[in-house]
Amino acid sequence: MLTIIVTTLLASLIINILVKKIHLPTIIGYILTGTAIAYGFHLNEAVSNHNLKEIAEFGVVFLMFTIGLEFSISHLKRMRNEVFVAGSLQIIITSSIVYLISYYLFELDQNSSFIISLVIALSSTAIVLKILNENGEINRRHGQRSLGILIMQDIAVIPILLVIGFMSSKSGNISTVLMEMAISAIILLSILWVFSKYLLEPFFTQIIKTNSDELFVGSVLFLAIGASYAAHSFGFSYSLGAFIAGMLIAETKYKYQAEADLIPFRDLLLGIFFITVGMQIDVFSLISQISFILLLLIGVMTLKFIIIFLILRFNESKRVSLKTALSLLQIGEFSLAILELARSNDLIPQAYSQLLIATIVLSMIATPIILKHLTQLTDMFIKNEETEPENLIDSDDMYDHTIILGFGEFGRNVARVLKERGEFYLAIENNLNTFHEIQRMGEPAFFGNAIKKEVLKKANIQHAKYVIIAIDNPSKLYHVCQIVQQFIDNSKIIVKVHSIHEKNIIAELGITNIMVENEIMSEQVSGLIR
């Protein structure tokens, strides 16, 4: 087993390096790793190993937890048309058409047709949002439309998992099963609500007061896994508990820091999940059916493209509708999770599962290529049409703002001047007492560690007018400057240091806007003496 683990890690690293060189997502690398390891060690039966599948499932658990952290009621209100209208219509229409085709045209059984319809209806949140963010297109009209539909799909995963759990139930009395599920749901939600209402905030406050990053990470892991375990104990999926826990933490000021700390665990465990998916692929069987798989892939992508385009075309331009449809025509990572759950509960035959896995993987491989050439592909369909506004963003999003890292006396003075000028700013503070003080002052701020890239992304740092770094810890200051440079040009970075020595250290990074506190005071004193 140790040989297999070491070999899997090495293969994963090598394959993912090659995969990233051709600009494909690491999900593909993990799946290929699983397939290679399975055939290298003849481990096709290894996927039945209970412990491995339990660990792999927690990748999906942490993914659902981070989605719960993003679940904002106010955000949904702003995007209600994209989420609840376009998103719901896309799922309902796509799954209905696929079900009718599977059941009546291909004459599959009802369970298989139902599972296949749900699998094909979903797109890839992980790949699409990652690439749209990297390309800076998430705030454009097609990016916002894509985001809205993906949010609805993520919300739909919860009832889908519940339905599959219900279909897997051995009980023959439907009313009894429904009653048991309802009672369990009430008890579970009551326990989690009481905990979040009276214990969650004091719990985090005590953790933060210890000044220990390890304890904070440990507490987030405890809440995510503990809620998952509680949900599983009441007969629900692990993912449902994680999603609810994420929603509860989203209502606290610690949501950004929690998300930033959890992402490495989520990505690593998701990697294990996709490796186990790759282990299920029977390469020789798929090669013999490659023609059918390619036809299925083209058919699925064409169907999803047409449905999404027609839904959006009612109240959107042709160009935006095309770009959104092209962005979402693949099948997503949650489809693999749903497929695996259905297969393990004998709701879909292994042969169908193999064909669908291959189709999903190929659609994922095609997605980065499509998104990279999105404008060129759109131009092939539409010419001589006025393009969409390139910098159109939601009015509530942060743009052309000043970010203040560290809200001590210097940061507050800067904030006061900006407020007098009528300019928007946002403070990021990692000290709990200082953060509470900022809240009492009514200043725009959120709690988080500026070293964490995800925290900076939440502040929309790539669109900031300036970033003012006023952190008193010299070693942390250097690290923060390095991180900030990855998002914004040096000309937009302003750093406050205490001494010439600190200035020289920061200047090595190529930052020129450095304010030395001692120099400024010396100049003021010299002016008074004259």
User: pTM score, two decimals?
Assistant: 0.62
- Residue 411 banded pLDDT, cuts 50, 70, 90: confident
Does residue 396 fall inside a structural domain?
A: no
Q: Name the one residue in this structure whose structure tokens are 């770009």.
A: 323
Whether residue 158 contacts residue 238, with contact meaning beta carbons closer than 8 Å, is answered with no
Give me the CATH number covering residue 302: 1.20.1530.20
CA–CA dist 470, 404 (Å, integer): 7
Residue 248 clears pLDDT 90, i.e. is over it: no
Higher pLDDT, 413 or 438: 413
Reported as a pLDDT band with limits 50, 70 and 90, residue 390 is very low
Residue 415 in domain: yes
Structure tokens at 237: 């999926």
CA 239/CA 216 separation, integer angstroms: 22
Residue 93: pLDDT above 90? yes
Q: 386 pLDDT exceeds 50? A: no
Q: Which of 352, 381, 410 is the last residue of a domain?
A: 381
Please tell me whether residues 276 and 425 are part of one structural domain: no
- Distances 451 to 101, 445, 476 between C-alpha atoms, Å: 51, 16, 8
Rounded-to-integer distance, Cα 255 and Cα 196, Å: 13
Ramachandran sector of residue 400 (left: φ over 0; alpha: ψ -120 to 50; beta: rest): left
Tens digit of pLDDT for each residue in 477-520?
888 898 899 889 988 999 998 888 888 888 888 898 998 887 76
Spatial separation of the C-alpha atoms in residues 221 and 217, rounded to whole Å: 6
DSSP strand pairing (466-469 vs 493-497):
parallel
Give 339-355 pLDDT, tens digit per residue: 878 887 888 888 888 88
Q: What average pLDDT does the structure give for the chain?
A: 80
Answer whether residue 285 shows pLDDT above 50: yes
User: What is the count of structural domains for the chain?
Assistant: 2
Q: Is residue 216 part of a domain?
A: no
Look at residue 199 and tell me if it is in a domain. Answer: no
Digit-coded pLDDT (tens) for 19-58: 888 877 777 788 888 888 877 766 544 444 455 556 656 7
Residue 340: both structure tokens together: 């695996």
Is there a contact between 236 and 184 (Cβ–Cβ < 8 Å)? yes
Are residues 137 and 31 both part of a single domain?
yes
Cα 189 vs. chain centroid, distance in angstroms? 24
CATH number where 440 lies = 3.40.50.720
**215: in domain:** no
281 and 163 share a domain?
Answer: yes
Same domain, 126 and 269: yes
**Within this chain, do residues 521 and 467 fall inside the same structural domain, yes or no?**
yes
- Ramachandran angles phi, psi of 349, nearest 5°: -65, 155
- Domain range holding 476? 402-529
Residues 27 and 109 in one domain: yes
Q: What pLDDT shows up at residue 77? A: 67
Domain co-membership, 363 together with 414: no
